[in-house]
Each structure stands twice: as C-alpha cells, then as structure tokens.
Amino acid sequence: MHVIHLSVECFPLAKVGGLADVVGALPRYQRKLGMDAWVVCPYYDKPFTQEHDFSTVAKGSFFQGSEELQYEIRKETADSLGFPLYLIHIPGKLDREDVYCYPDEAEQWIAFQHAFLHWLKSSRIMPDVINCHDHHVGLIPFLTKYADGFEMFASVKTVFTVHNGQYQGWMSWNKGILLPPFDTWKWGLLDWDGLINPLATAIKCCDAFTTVSTGYLQELYTQANGLESLFSSEAAKGYGIVNGIDDVYWNPAEDKLIAVNYDVDSSKEGKMKNKKAFCEKYGLDDRLPLLTYIGRFAVEKGADLLPEIVATIFSNTENKISIFILGSGDVQIQANLQALLAAYPGRLATFFGYNEGLAHEVYAAADMILMPSRVEPCGLNQLYAMKYGTIPVVRGIGGLKDTVRDVSEKNGYGFVFQNAVLEDAVSAIERALDYIGQRGKMQRVRRKEMKLDFSWDKSAQQYIDLYNRL
Ligand code: GLC
C-alpha cells in the first residue's frame, strides 16, 4: 500500500513544533511495517535543503488566480531520513527561511496543495492514501473530490490528522479565486461561518480523521475553537491514535548530543553527570532539584503562567530549586521571564530561541519538566522527558492526561494537576519536590517511566490498520 504524508513541517527539514517530529518519524516506522510511505513538503530555503542533495524529478506550472506559478519537484537523493522525501519548489512562494508568519499564508499553502495534485496527475502517481497533517493541507480532501481536472483522485482515500485544532487556516472568500477551479455547487464544503476554513473543509470531506491522542478526540467535541458541532457530527469517522517518539533521535543510551549516555540501570549516575555538566554551563547549582520548561511561549501551552509560577516557587522554597527555561514565541512572555533573571542569579537560567541540541541536554539533566498546557493534543515533550528519566509535572488534559499517570494512582510515575492556573501548577511542583526529596523515591519513579513503551511501532500499525479499513 502506498501512502503519501503531506505536511508543511518535517524534522529535520523544518521544525516549529511537534508536527515536524511526527511527520519525520511516522513514515519511517510505517516503512518498517511494509508500507510504501513518502513525505511531501515545501522546499524551504533552510540548512537542510542547502546541505542535502536533491534531484529534480518533475516540473510544471499552473495558474493561481491570474499568476502563473512554476514548480519543481525535488527528491532528496540519499533518502537520508529513511523514507522518500519530495519537496515542492515554487520560487517566490515556498522557498523561504521560515515556515509560518508570512502575510500571504493563504497563497503559500494553496500553491503547495495545487502543485502537489498537479504533479501527481502529470506523473501519473496514484497513492492509495493521502495522509494530510493540519489545516495547511486541509483543502486536499476537497480538491481530490471536487476540483476540475483532478477527478482521477476521487477514489484516493484521504486521512486528515489533527495535530492542533486551534489553528484552522481561515481565509476570506476573496481568496476563493486562487483555488484550482472546482464544482461551485460544493462551495458550502469550504465554508464555515462565512470564511473558507481549511480545517473544517478537511473534516467534512476526508474519509477519516485522526487526532494525536484519544483524550484530545473527546475534547474536540466540546472545545474546538468553533468547530465543536462539526467534530460531533463527523464523529463516526474520527479516531484517536497517540503519537510515539522516534527512538533513533531520542534515546539517552545513544544520544550524541548529551554529555554522558545512560540507560535505566545507569540512570542515577548518568543523570547526575549530565546535570553537573549542564548546571556548570548555565551557572546553576547542581545540588538543587532542577525544574525545566521546554517549548513555545504560547497561551495555549500555559507559558503566560511561567513568570508567576517561577516567582512563587522560588519564594515558597526559599530559592531551594534551579529552574531552566528553553523556548521562544510570545514576546511579552519572554520579556516577563527576562525581567526575572536578575532577581534569581544562579537559580534561574534561560535560552530564548529554538535549539534542538540544547533540548536533548536539558532532558538529560533535569529532574522535572513542567507542562501547564491549556490545550495539548498529544504533547511530545513529556514523552521525551520520561524516556530521559525526567519526571513530568503536567496539566491533565488531552495527550498529557493519556500519557502521564499521577503517583497517587497504582503504578503512577508523574504529577498531574487539574487546572491551568498558578495555584494548581505550584502545588503540583511542590508535591513533586516533596516526593523526590524522599529517599529512593525519585529513582524508583525514574526507572518506571524510563521503561514505558512510547515507541512508534504500535501507533504506526494503528494508522496502517485505519488505511486498510478505508
Ligand atoms: C501539535 C500539538 C502537540 C502534538 C504535536 C504533534 O504541536 O500542539 O500537542 O504533540 O502537534 O502531534
């Protein structure tokens, strides 16, 4: 069976969030299970495209409104990611340094989707399934059914994976003329509340949709940024499949990005050494428990609570804790954190930006990771953390609820709190500090979570089972 994953992020080509990690791993695991899985992404002007060899396998052009766009399909020659990676090069539209935040986002992703179908058609590529990831490619399930000239794809099954339902790709109807010509009787499938809404379109038109945890699937019926009724009415074709983690990149026993490698049995000394090396680098005290936050500074992730949480925890513990924050995003949140640095020298350190290598070091060094998310479709950081023996302190929502069990439960290995508010987060951190302060407890929990199986094998099979069913 042949599946094409279509996405605008893929690690290590282009990563903004967890979407990239999933698209960069799932296809490799599917191939291990015998599927012919490909990935198609935009060709960005990024280190990955500069450092790898590509061969042009197809060329073409089409009209986007009155503008004629030329495209090239460039295949990564070495298949270095473990699957065929095809990138769509559209000069002036996709060959950019960043993935998001351009004013012509609608034009970008419409061009990407149109070029994709144009290429499949002209090269006579007929996959069994197109697995679209997030709203940027949400028009595909519509276009394969109702766009003029692409009728041959009507029988191709489309699966749409929701990594984040908060973002829907809204565009005003005056962008409609940029789409490939389509059966105008079907315009209602593009519409939600007077706008073209690619996420809504995908949910209406796909053969099945998946969410990246079962907890999140349930939540979408009541909290989906305006699409609750749609998710509810289409519930029969919804499936929750929890993400896995890529154990090639995320394995403390072999990770080349950390100071000292360790496994479950050597985790006590291993983590201690990593912590020492890390704390020395960032001027923190390695004798104190080390708490971290890694991720985007977004309200959705509860990052706006961080400055207050940090100040309160320092005050409640009389500065008997080290805190390291790695992330970027909302400038106000960043400024608020920056302002705290001077008040807690030797206790608080930060890195503002995206730094994959540093994230590995932090997972290896930290004792606890905090995730106070308001929305968390799956969450990968708690999974990476646990694999590295770092105890998760998380809000019990979406994928966090599905993957972290509180120590108060049988076989528990983490700390779960109910609401994304200061008091709940602080009391969970205090509960964790109290717990790991008790003799032997930290190591016991650490061993338990390091042994959990969050590998992709099982979830990759679940995707395949779904494709087969379709
Ligand atoms: C999005 C979600 C995150 C999920 C990731 C990968 O970034 O916010 O929870 O883990 O996608 O599916």
CB 248 within 8 A of CB 276: no
Q: Which of 354, 380, 394 for a ligand 1 pocket mutation test, highest count of atoms within 8 Å of Cβ? A: 380
Beta bridge partners of 132: 6, 160
**CA 305 from chain center: how many Å?**
21
398 Cα nearest atom in ligand 1: 9
Q: What is the pLDDT of residue 221?
A: 98
Closest CA to 203 of 184, 221, 177, 178: 221
216 Cα nearest atom in ligand 1: 9
Return the residue whose CA atom lies nearest to atom 3 of ligand 1: 379
Question: Does 459 sit in the ligand 1 pocket, CB within 6 Å?
Answer: no
CB 112 within 8 A of CB 94: yes
301 Cα nearest atom in ligand 1: 8
Q: What is the pLDDT of residue 40?
A: 99
Q: Which of 161, 212, 297 for a ligand 1 pocket mutation test, highest count of atoms within 8 Å of Cβ? A: 212
Closest CA to 358 of 336, 335, 328, 332: 328
Return the residue whose CA atom lies nearest to atom 5 of ligand 1: 18
Q: What is the pLDDT of residue 143?
A: 98
Question: Does 387 sit in the ligand 1 pocket, CB within 6 Å?
Answer: no
Distance, CA of 311 to CA of 344 (rounded, Å): 9
Q: What angle do CA 437, 301, 275 make, to 5 degrees?
A: 35
Question: Does 379 sit in the ligand 1 pocket, CB within 6 Å?
Answer: yes
Q: What is the pLDDT of residue 442?
A: 95
CB 200 within 8 A of CB 227: yes
What averages of pLDDT result for each successive group of 10 residues across the chain (470 residues)?
98 96 98 98 98 98 98 98 98 97 97 98 98 98 98 98 98 98 97 98 98 98 98 98 95 98 98 98 98 97 98 97 97 97 97 96 98 98 98 98 97 98 98 96 97 95 98
Question: Does 22 sit in the ligand 1 pocket, CB within 6 Å?
Answer: yes
| 3-class DSSP state of 350 | strand
Question: Does 17 sit in the ligand 1 pocket, CB within 6 Å?
Answer: yes
How many whole angstroms from 379 Cα to the centroid of ligand 1?
Answer: 5
Question: Does 380 sit in the ligand 1 pocket, CB within 6 Å?
Answer: yes
* pTM of this structure: 0.95
Distance, CA of 378 to CA of 163 (rounded, Å): 8
Question: Does 378 sit in the ligand 1 pocket, CB within 6 Å?
Answer: yes
Residue ranges of domains in the chain, CATH in brackets:
2-244+457-469 (3.40.50.2000), 267-453 (3.40.50.2000)
How many whole angstroms from 30 Cα to the centroid of ligand 1?
Answer: 19
Q: 102-110 long-range CB contacts below 8 Å, 24 or more apart?
A: 105/169, 106/169, 106/171, 106/175, 106/178, 107/64, 107/175, 107/178, 108/42, 109/8, 109/136, 109/137, 109/139, 109/169, 109/198, 110/64, 110/139, 110/175, 110/178, 110/179
How many whole angstroms from 370 Cα to the centroid of ligand 1?
Answer: 16
Give one word for 184, left, alpha or beta, with left for phi > 0 and alpha for psi -120 to 50: alpha
How many whole angstroms from 419 Cα to the centroid of ligand 1?
Answer: 19
Question: Does 164 sit in the ligand 1 pocket, CB within 6 Å?
Answer: yes
Question: Does 19 sit in the ligand 1 pocket, CB within 6 Å?
Answer: yes
Question: What would the two tokens of residue 123 be?
Answer: 């090269």
Question: Does 7 sit in the ligand 1 pocket, CB within 6 Å?
Answer: no
Question: Does 18 sit in the ligand 1 pocket, CB within 6 Å?
Answer: yes
Q: What is the pLDDT of residue 306?
A: 98
Closest CA to 463 of 244, 153, 138, 215: 244
Tokens 């990968």 sit on residue: 380
Distance, CA of 242 to CA of 378 (rounded, Å): 7
* Contacts of 163 by beta carbon, 8 Å cutoff, 6+ apart: 17, 18, 19, 22, 133, 134, 212, 377, 378
Q: Backbone phi, then psi, for 295, in 5-degree steps?
A: 150, -175
Instruction: DSSP letter for 77, please.
Output: T
